[in-house]
Amino acid sequence: MRKYLNYLAGIICCAVVGAVYFYVTLPPINIHSTAFWWFFVILLLSFSIPFGVFSAVLSVAEKFGKKGRTVTAAPALKVILILACVPIVVCIFGGIASSTFFNAHRYASVITVNEAKFEEDMPETTNVTNIALMDSNSARIIGNRTLGSLSDVVSQYEAGYTYNQINYQGAPKKVTSLEYVDFFKWFNNRKAGVPGYIMVDPVNNTASYEKLDTPIKYVSSAWFNDNLERKLRFSYPTKIFGSYSFEIDESGNPYYVVSCLTARVGLFGAMDVEEVIIFDPTDGSSEIYPVAETPAWVDEVYTGYLATEKYNWYGMYSGGFWNSVISNKDCKKTTDDFGYIVLEDDVWYFTGVTSITSDQSNIGFIITNARTGEYKFYPVVGAEEYSAMSAAEGEVQEKGYTASFPSLINVNGKATYILVLKDDGGLVKLYALVNVENYGIVATGTTQQEAMKEYKRLLAQNGVISPDKESDLPEEKFKVLDVNTASIGGETYIYITSPDKTLYKAQISADETLLLISKGDLISVKYSETSDSKIRYIDSWDFTQEPKENSEVKLYAEEDAADDTAKPDDSAA
């Protein structure tokens, strides 16, 4: 009878401890996760607690009992403790059997990398106003400032730490959900929920708070059953969760995109994304998709860290394990960080590829589709990213600015790094372009357009491109409606207004002849577009002759009429 009571007590103890452990740590019920096997150990040990207590009581009874009485420990306790060693053995030997030592070629074959031509795949950049160069630290600074201006929100919520790169309505954005500041803020606001999210424009360095009609209920900072990870674990107890990416669809509705992992090699090796959960945090509903069927609006299924890790398996182990350790023949790896490129409505990760025996230059670079996991390799030899960053910092070393990790663009068929230079406060001060093949060609400017103009001039000066490339720029002829100047960031800009109320701007220090332009002059302007359709950047200009009646010069009849009425009346004189 006593033995059966011990078994009953063991089952109750196992259920209680197991439930508490599962609720707190949320391990997946999946043999490909080491967390599951440790959970199994906890269950066995908790089941053995009543047997251990009973054995301890018997030992005390033997010590203080009658002489000659013999008491033995429960045999079940020994069996349970032996069984508890099984998961530990599984983790140790499963890890060894899944290692690259035994499975180098299997790791290398997890991905397929197609070689492509840079000039064909990467569209030539003539307008650089839509490139997201802001890193997460700068996004946090701008996002926190925006949230700080909302007194009714900032006292209860804070911006999430991770800003996810997305492509929203054709433009790059960084987004993060608001989170509860602490337990008490959650407790007081749990019925109202999280009211919105922060959206950062990484091109214009601005941020906005987006208030939702239906508040968010499930976030990582919520407690108990409102916690995001707990809600997902209860809905999908067997899935191994990878990344939790906060995104919005094309209508601005919030979702969490959750990647589900599986082992591609052995029991624990080469963890890769197999499925994707689209979770609605406002009502807790969700759908799961195979990776190939992920909705097109989703941007991040694979993280940049997983994408680079998988390429490193491919680059290091294609020749076998011992080759990666000893001879290093054809071994290559990615640089330590990655940037973002938006191509055809998809976000791609960009990173350089360098030989394992040298980290001073790249033998090419890869881009990886963050949604589909597709890889492309471009054999463009040149400076690796950190050399380009140092070159850009050296161009303005007296200012002490710090370079961000670059993105990659195609300028007149030439691979070019584009990056920002920030001050100690993390604010963007300058933009820089660095030629990949010759990182001695560096151009900087207070705007992306200025940096591009100077970069093209340097390319032509060094014989990299033909100097007549500027002829491809659009041109307008018009009568100057107004001329103004403004000081921005320590630089003086001229703003020329055309009759259709379009502003043409330029930095005066780059071309002082702009000061010759006056109201009423007839000028011809070659320009680049900016993010604002009513503002254009002047690349070059010149005076024109008085336009004829049928010319294409933009002259408004009402403006001429207004000028006539402003003249003195000759008859009155």
Separation between Cα atoms, residue 222 and residue 215, nearest integer Å: 13
Q: What is the pLDDT of residues 179-233, one digit of tens each?
A: 999 999 999 999 999 999 999 998 778 899 999 999 999 999 999 999 999 999 9
Task: Based on the fold, state whether residues 487 and 466 are members of the same structural domain.
Answer: no
Separation between Cα atoms, residue 53 and residue 99, nearest integer Å: 40
Which one of 380, 407, 429 terminates a domain?
A: 380
Task: Based on the fold, state whether residues 434 and 518 are members of the same structural domain.
Answer: no
Name the token pair of 508.
Answer: 């005066």
Name the token pair of 144.
Answer: 């926190």
The yes-or-no verdict on residue 572 having pLDDT over 50 is no
Name the token pair of 559.
Answer: 């403006």
Residue 46 lies in a domain: yes
pLDDT at 555: 47
The yes-or-no verdict on residue 69 having pLDDT over 70 is no
Name the token pair of 496.
Answer: 């020329």
Task: Based on the fold, state whether residues 77 and 220 are members of the same structural domain.
Answer: no
Residue 573 lies in a domain: no
Residue 487 lies in a domain: yes
**Amino acid, single-letter form, for residue 406:** P
Listed residue (26, 80, 379) closest to 231, CA to CA: 26
Q: What is the pLDDT of residues 283-340, one digit of tens each?
A: 999 999 999 999 999 999 999 999 999 999 999 999 999 999 998 999 999 998 898 8
Residue 35 lies in a domain: yes
Q: How confident is the model at residue 64 (pLDDT cuts 50, 70, 90)?
A: low
Q: What is the pLDDT of residues 135-179, one digit of tens each?
A: 888 889 999 999 998 888 989 999 999 999 999 998 899 999 999
Which one of 380, 408, 431 terminates a domain?
A: 380
Task: Based on the fold, state whether residues 256 and 348 are members of the same structural domain.
Answer: no
Task: Based on the fold, state whether residues 81 and 182 are members of the same structural domain.
Answer: no
Q: How confident is the model at residue 61 (pLDDT cuts 50, 70, 90)?
A: low
**Selection from 129-138, 289-298, 423-432, 521-530 with the highest mean pLDDT:** 289-298
Q: How confident is the model at residue 523 (pLDDT cuts 50, 70, 90)?
A: very high
Separation between Cα atoms, residue 310 and residue 265, nearest integer Å: 13
Name the token pair of 196.
Answer: 């919105």
Residue 535 lies in a domain: no
Which one of 365, 380, 395 terminates a domain?
A: 380
Task: Based on the fold, state whether residues 143 and 278 are members of the same structural domain.
Answer: yes
Q: Mean pLDDT, the chain, as a whole number?
A: 87
CA separation, residue 246 to residues 199, 326, 539 (Å): 11, 43, 40
pLDDT at 570: 46
Q: How confident is the model at residue 363 (pLDDT cuts 50, 70, 90)?
A: very high
Task: Based on the fold, state whether residues 390 and 316 are members of the same structural domain.
Answer: no
CATH number, domain at 494?
2.40.50
Task: Based on the fold, state whether residues 294 and 366 are members of the same structural domain.
Answer: no
Q: How confident is the model at residue 556 (pLDDT cuts 50, 70, 90)?
A: very low
Separation between Cα atoms, residue 441 and residue 73, nearest integer Å: 80
Task: Based on the fold, state whether residues 138 and 282 are members of the same structural domain.
Answer: yes
The yes-or-no verdict on residue 44 having pLDDT over 90 is no
Which residues are within 8 A (CB) of 327 and not within 5 positions of it... i.e. 6 or more apart? none
Beta strands of 356-406 (E only): which ranges?
Answer: 361-362, 364-369, 375-378, 382-383, 402-403
Listed residue (1, 176, 308, 482) closest to 316, CA to CA: 308
Q: What is the mean pLDDT of residues 342-360?
A: 86
The phi and psi torsions of 528 (rounded to 5 degrees) equal -120, 145
Task: Based on the fold, state whether residues 321 and 448 are members of the same structural domain.
Answer: no
Per the structure, how many domains does the chain have?
Answer: 5
Task: Based on the fold, state whether residues 431 and 337 are members of the same structural domain.
Answer: no
Element (H, E) at 164: strand 164-168
Task: Based on the fold, state whether residues 282 and 418 are members of the same structural domain.
Answer: no
pLDDT at 33: 96
Element (H, E) at 107: helix 100-108
Q: How many CA atoms, within 13 angstroms, populate the side-chain half-sphere of residue 132? A: 30
Listed residue (325, 432, 324, 306) closest to 370, CA to CA: 306
Q: How confident is the model at residue 571 (pLDDT cuts 50, 70, 90)?
A: very low
The residue count for the chain: 573
Residue 45 lies in a domain: yes
Residue 263 lies in a domain: yes
Residue 29 sits in which domain range?
A: 2-97
pLDDT at 114: 94
Q: What is the mean pLDDT of residues 268-274?
A: 97
Separation between Cα atoms, residue 191 and residue 459, nearest integer Å: 60
pLDDT at 531: 63
Separation between Cα atoms, residue 80 and residue 60, nearest integer Å: 22
